[in-house]
């Protein structure tokens, strides 16, 4: 098969979140499984600072945007360590900016226009570069127009008539919602601006557009695929998703074990694997305690958190738990991340009061993130919602037992350490259902009790370390879906 993956982010060219990790790793695994795959993305300013070789293709684009035509060019690079080509759509007026989507916390006012241009360019390069394409795999609202253009403007056009489209939803909370007059920029007929297709409470919604016109839909975990069909997690689009539930599949993201593997991780004080973690992890724990200024107490449980300091990640629960227990619980905490101002103020205040119990680093450090994954005993992820989550998967490989709220991908990947699951040898972490500080505290107490039983704890650790959450596993599921899409009867929703 020939797959063209359209995205606004891919590691190492541009990144704001997990979308980039997916689109930088999944294509490589698809190629390893014997398929032809290419990536197309905007040539952001960040792209040219990524240290990758970029060359011109000589292809020039003329893209209609409303009543005007905007010129662009196509550049070419590769995903590192592979032959997977990356086509970069260069239009400095749209993409040579400090941020990908916003500056100083405010969205660019022309975001709709920028991604109308990009979405049209995605399909235009198929002809211009003579690319054989069976599947266009779009991602999130930034490419939500691609399935619509394919179905509405390219139907029956040679080279395009048999192409199928798939849209992956990485987070329903980000939808590309714009005022209704931006419909003019798309060049599509106003008749599609209706509540069943592109309109959403009077606005143009690019994610909804993709949900309606794509042949198949995926999201980043099976549980999240169910959750987004409910009012709690559907963000207003649960009706559309419920209608299209037979075309919706949840495929959990994978881990790039080239980057996240304690046996080869050069960031660590000691390398280890499932066979010798009893020797390696204590060395990493002691080094992390020293780095963060915590007492080097081998027997004191060390809890790690790496991520955005926002309520979605459960920071309201974590900070309340810290306030309730730091003075009495004999545990240590290591927290790394940036986020909301209230947590930037509260966490250092707590760390100053309890310097032997709490270490905070209000920054992002990839190297320190690796060391926390290796040095911590428990990894905390009490998310309010979590489409997939990656840190719990990193934690499993690093022998750091995840403690999660059972939502989205966390529910799909973490098997609660109940007596039954422990006996069956399937327990790899601890989870709770009710979003409350009390439920979090009770689950932490269970985890700490297990920690004090070395045989039980080591069994949980080893179960997690020997599980396969690789991208190869996920890529095979995507390939099965691509095959299904290619052989399914022709679909029409126009």
Angle between helices 277-292 and 454-465 (to 10 degrees): 90
pLDDT of res. 362: 95
Whole-number Å distance between alpha carbons of 355 and 353: 6
Whole-number Å distance between alpha carbons of 477 and 115: 28
What integer is the mean pLDDT of 410-428?
98
Q: pLDDT tens digits, residue range 91-141?
A: 999 999 999 999 988 999 999 999 999 999 999 999 999 999 999 999 999
Sequence-ordered alpha helix ranges (H) in 168-236:
183-186, 206-213, 222-227, 231-234
Angle value at C-alpha 417, between 414 and 419, nearest 5 degrees: 145
Whole-number Å distance between alpha carbons of 388 and 225: 10
The percent of residues in the chain predicted with pLDDT above 90, rounded, is 96
Q: pLDDT tens digits, residue range 360-384?
A: 999 989 899 999 999 999 999 999 9
The closest alpha carbon to 202, from 217, 182, 173, belongs to 182
pLDDT of res. 257: 92
Residue 29 has pLDDT above 50, yes or no: yes
Q: Is 336 helix (H, G, I), strand (E, B) or coil?
A: strand
pLDDT of res. 490: 62
Residue 491 has pLDDT above 90, yes or no: no
Residue 338 structure tokens: 């940036």
**Block residue for tokens 């409470």:** 201
Output the CA torsion 279→285→288→292 (10° steps).
Answer: -160
Q: What is the DSSP letter of 190?
A: G
Residue 120 structure tokens: 């049209």
Domains and CATH numbers, the chain: 2-254+473-487 (3.40.50.2000), 277-468 (3.40.50.2000)
What are the helix and strand counts (H, E) for the chain? 20, 20
Whole-number Å distance between alpha carbons of 28 and 305: 29
> Rounded to an integer, what is the distance from CA 365 to the centroid of its chain?
18
Angle between helices 454-465 and 437-451 (to 10 degrees): 110
pLDDT of res. 493: 45
What integer is the mean pLDDT of 426-430?
98
Whole-number Å distance between alpha carbons of 417 and 372: 22
CB 425 within 8 A of CB 464: no
Q: What DSSP string describes 240-274?
A: HHHHTGGGEEE----B-TTTS-TTT-TTSSS---T
């Amino acid at each position: 098969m020939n797959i063209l993956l359209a995205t606004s982010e891919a590691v190492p060219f541009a990144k704001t979140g997990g979308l980039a990790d997916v689109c930088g790793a999944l294509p490589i695994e698809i190629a390893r499984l014997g398929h032809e795959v290419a990536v197309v993305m905007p040539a952001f300013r960040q792209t040219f600072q990524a240290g990758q070789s970029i060359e011109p293709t000589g292809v020039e684009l003329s893209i209609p945007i409303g009543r005007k035509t905007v010129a662009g060019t196509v550049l070419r690079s590769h995903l590192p360590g592979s032959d997977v080509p990356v086509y970069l759509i260069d239009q400095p007026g749209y993409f040579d900016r400090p941020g990908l989507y916003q500056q100083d916390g405010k969205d660019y006012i022309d975001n709709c226009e920028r991604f109308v241009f990009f979405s049209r360019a995605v399909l235009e390069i198929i002809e211009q570069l003579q690319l054989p394409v069976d599947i266009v795999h779009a991602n999130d609202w930034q490419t939500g127009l691609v399935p619509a253009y394919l179905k509405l403007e390219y139907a029956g056009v040679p080279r395009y008539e048999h192409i199928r489209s798939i849209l992956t939803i990485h987070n329903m909370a980000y939808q590309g919602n714009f005022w209704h007059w931006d419909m003019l920029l798309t060049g599509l007929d106003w008749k599609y601006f209706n509540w069943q297709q592109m309109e959403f409470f009077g606005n143009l919604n690019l994610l909804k557009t993709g949900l309606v016109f794509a042949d198949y839909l995926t999201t980043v975990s099976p549980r999240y695929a169910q959750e987004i069909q409910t009012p709690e997690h559907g963000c207003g689009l649960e009706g559309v998703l419920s209608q299209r539930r037979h075309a919706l599949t949840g495929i959990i993201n994978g881990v790039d074990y080239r980057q996240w593997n304690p046996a080869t991780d050069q960031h660590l004080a000691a390398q280890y694997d499932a066979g010798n973690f009893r020797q390696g992890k204590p060395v990493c724990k002691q080094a992390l305690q020293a780095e963060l200024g915590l007492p080097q107490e081998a027997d004191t449980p060390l809890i790690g958190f790496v991520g955005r300091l926002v309520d979605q990640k459960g920071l309201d629960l974590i900070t309340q738990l810290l306030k309730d227990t730091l003075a009495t619980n004999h545990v240590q905490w290591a927290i790394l991340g940036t986020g909301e101002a209230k947590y930037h103020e509260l966490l250092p205040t707590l760390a100053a009061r309890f310097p032997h119990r709490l270490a905070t680093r209000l920054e992002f450090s990839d190297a320190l993130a690796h060391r926390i994954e290796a040095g911590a005993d428990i990894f905390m992820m009490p998310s309010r919602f979590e489409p997939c989550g990656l840190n719990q998967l990193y934690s499993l490989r690093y022998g750091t037992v995840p403690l999660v709220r059972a939502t989205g991908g966390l529910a799909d990947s973490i098997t609660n350490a109940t007596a039954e699951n422990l006996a069956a040898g399937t327990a790899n972490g601890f989870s709770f259902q009710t979003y409350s500080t009390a439920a979090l505290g009770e689950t932490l107490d269970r985890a700490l009790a297990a920690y004090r039983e070395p045989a039980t704890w080591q069994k949980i650790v080893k179960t997690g370390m020997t599980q396969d959450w690789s991208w190869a596993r996920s890529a095979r599921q995507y390939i099965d879906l691509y095959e299904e899409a290619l052989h399914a009867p022709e679909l029409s929703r126009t």
